[in-house]
């Protein structure tokens, strides 16, 4: 795939290091990238059927996001420039909080929420306070970001996803070739869930409240009799329509853990207990009414 003039410019100015600071051409390239991210024309990670995971990391886009931090200077953003909540904050002038108009079809309910510049938020997204969406993130149509939920930098959130209260979707800017967390279409992420370190949750999956997924977390599939793990080349991937609940497994006994038996210890272990069916779908139908 041939590179675009914007990609070439971003790569060049990123490679310049501190020399790019104060360069108006570098700033112009960054602002073009930021605008393209906000419109959804560019993404830090994109669907790619040819990839082993179905997704491709766009390293140059992440370079551009990092370039924006390098070029920015700290600035006080007064209440009148931020929101009806009357909040003040200090941040790089290249990443002010986004503001939305009714015609964009995004609901940002008052109460302390913030969406950073460089994040894409599609029509029909509902943001319940307080929540936060970081730069480079992509949140697709019809998704709800509930109270105290976080969408980290460069995280990719599909259509009609519900990120329940206090759900944490980890982000990643560095290393630039690292894949961000990806939540595909029609996923339900329960309250107090955490999805980190590039995990991919396939479409239609359900994460029950309190489920934690990381690169080092094995997931036990009771239905198919397999254990899902990340590898050196692939992140942890939750299959399509899987219903995952928090579980536990006995700590390995023996000389390595001499107190395991005496203390009756166990380790956290997420478990796939079923795959989504009509009954499971009906239990999540309330989401449509909230929109």
Tens-digit pLDDT profile for residues 105-127: 999 999 989 999 999 999 999 99
pLDDT of amino acid 1:
62
Averaged pLDDT of the chain: 91
* Range 246-252, long-range pairs (CB < 8 A, 24+ positions): 246/208, 246/209, 246/210, 246/211, 246/212, 246/270, 246/271, 247/220, 247/271, 249/220
pLDDT of amino acid 286:
46
What residues does 151 pair with on adjacent strands?
133, 169
CA angle 164, 165, 170 (to 5 degrees): 75
pTM given for the model: 0.92
Q: How many CB atoms lie within 10 A of CB 3?
A: 11
pLDDT of amino acid 265:
85
Kindly tell me the sign of the dihedral angle through the C-alpha atoms of 82, 86, 91, 97.
negative
* % the chain with pLDDT above 90: 80
Domains of the chain: 5-283 (2.160.10.10)
Q: How confident is the model at residue 288 (pLDDT cuts 50, 70, 90)?
A: low
Q: How many CB atoms lie within 10 A of CB 169?
A: 29
Tens-digit pLDDT profile for residues 2-52: 789 999 999 999 999 999 999 999 999 999 999 999 999 999 999 999 999
Structure tokens at 5: 């003039």
pLDDT of amino acid 281:
66
pLDDT beyond 80 at 81: no
Structure tokens at 282: 């009906």
Tens-digit pLDDT profile for residues 218-277: 999 999 999 999 999 999 999 999 999 999 998 876 666 777 777 888 899 999 999 998
pLDDT of amino acid 85:
53
What residues does 116 pair with on adjacent strands?
97
What residues does 213 pair with on adjacent strands?
195
Closest CA to 212 of 180, 189, 179: 189
Do residues 91 and 77 touch, judged by C-beta distance below 8 A? yes
């Amino acid at each position: 795939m041939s590179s675009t003039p914007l990609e070439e410019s971003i790569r060049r100015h990123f490679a310049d290091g501190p020399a790019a600071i104060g360069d108006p051409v570098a700033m112009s390239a960054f602002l073009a990238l930021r605008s393209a991210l906000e419109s959804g024309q560019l993404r830090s990670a994109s669907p790619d059927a040819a990839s082993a995971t179905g997704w491709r990391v766009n390293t140059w886009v992440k370079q551009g996001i990092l370039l924006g931090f390098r070029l920015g200077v700290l600035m006080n953003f007064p209440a009148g420039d931020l929101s009806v909540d009357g909040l003040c904050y200090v941040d790089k002038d290249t990443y002010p909080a986004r503001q939305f108009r009714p015609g964009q079809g995004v609901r940002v309910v008052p109460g302390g929420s913030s969406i950073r510049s460089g994040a894409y938020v599609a029509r029909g997204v509902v943001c319940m306070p307080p929540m936060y969406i970081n730069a480079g993130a992509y949140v697709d149509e019809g998704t709800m970001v509930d109270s105290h939920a976080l969408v980290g930098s460069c995280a990719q959130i599909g259509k009609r996803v519900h990120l329940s209260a206090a759900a944490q979707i980890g982000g990643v800017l560095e290393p630039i070739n690292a894949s961000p967390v990806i939540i595909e279409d029609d996923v339900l992420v329960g309250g107090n869930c955490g999805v980190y370190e590039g995990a991919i949750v396939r479409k239609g999956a359900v994460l029950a409240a309190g489920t934690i997924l990381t690169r080092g977390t094995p997931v036990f599939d009771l239905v198919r009799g397999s254990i899902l793990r990340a590898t050196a080349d692939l992140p942890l991937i939750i299959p399509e329509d899987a219903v995952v609940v928090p579980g536990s497994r006995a700590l390995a006994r023996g000389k390595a853990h001499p107190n395991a038996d005496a203390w009756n210890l166990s380790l956290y272990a997420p478990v796939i207990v079923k795959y989504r069916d009509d009954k499971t779908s009906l239990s999540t139908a309330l989401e449509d009414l909230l929109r």
